[in-house]
Amino acid sequence: MCEILIPIVLRASITLMVFALGLRVSISETTHLLRKPALLARSILSLNIVMPLCAMALVAIMNLDRTVTVALIGLSISPVPPLLPIKQLKAGGGSSFIFSLLAIEAVLAILFVPISVEIFNLAFSSNAQASPAAIASVVLLTILAPMGAGVLGRHAAPVFAGRIGKPVSIFAAVLLAGSLIPILIVAMPTVISLIGNGTLAAITAFTVTGLAAGHIFGGPKPENRTVLALSSASRHPGIAMSIASAGLSDERLLLAALLLYLIVNALVSVPYVVWRRRTNFQ
């Protein structure tokens, strides 16, 4: 029963948090990048070209466990995770860039992910799969629909949206913690078993490369550098799971690999976030 209930609560909490974030965003903010073609092009370069190339290089030169290999490939071509804006806002990122990048990358994933999967399959003889319909379903349910509902709610009733935003976000955060803790407890022995043979080095290198690439391509504005750096280093674990699961017989190992990435990514990003908070809030 718990094995069924926990994933449902996890998805519901994420949906509520993205909805609460949408309540803070105007319609014009979600289309911000469409009016900034140079920044959009640099964002696509960092997210959709540099990071897959980084994953390809790590897989080619390091003797990684197969589970780590397919997880890294899946992460490198996945879009921005739906809860990342919380960290980006706290680090001083601009909301227009944050939410516009989240929405546009989600839409672009429907095209980029299947193409990227085919390229990786040819290069490494892997069995990953990603149909446009499957990717569209994930990004719609986890990003576009809840955020869109929040944005429309703010547009229709801004005062009401301002009142319910924080309570909904707090409630969702409690649900999220309650559903994640049991998963971490159960999966931790498997997570630990994956450590070794260059796994930590590969995940750390992937995260650091994302932070560096996004910071460089973010342009002259400090807040844009922060947003793109965190976006490039942090990818959607749900889409990575759906991409990579076709190439593995044991999804528990894949889940453990993705949890290990989330833990390492969070720890490695801390110094950058602290630095950017000091820079952006001066």
262 vs 251: CA distance, rounded Å: 16
103 vs 25: CA distance, rounded Å: 12
Closest CA to 73 of 55, 48, 57: 55
Give the pLDDT mean for 55-72.
89
Domain positions in the chain are: 2-276
Give the pLDDT mean for 18-34.
92
Q: How many residues are there in the chain?
A: 282
pTM higher than 0.75 = yes
CATH of domain 2-276: 1.20.1530.20
pLDDT tens track for 91-132:
888 899 999 999 999 999 988 888 888 888 777 766 666 778
3: pLDDT strictly greater than 60: no
pLDDT tens track for 137-194:
888 888 999 999 999 999 999 999 999 999 999 998 888 888 888 888 888 998 998 8
- Determine the Cα angle at 162 with ends 104 and 12, to 5°: 60
Question: Please, what is the angle between helix 95-124 and helix 66-76, to 10°?
Answer: 140
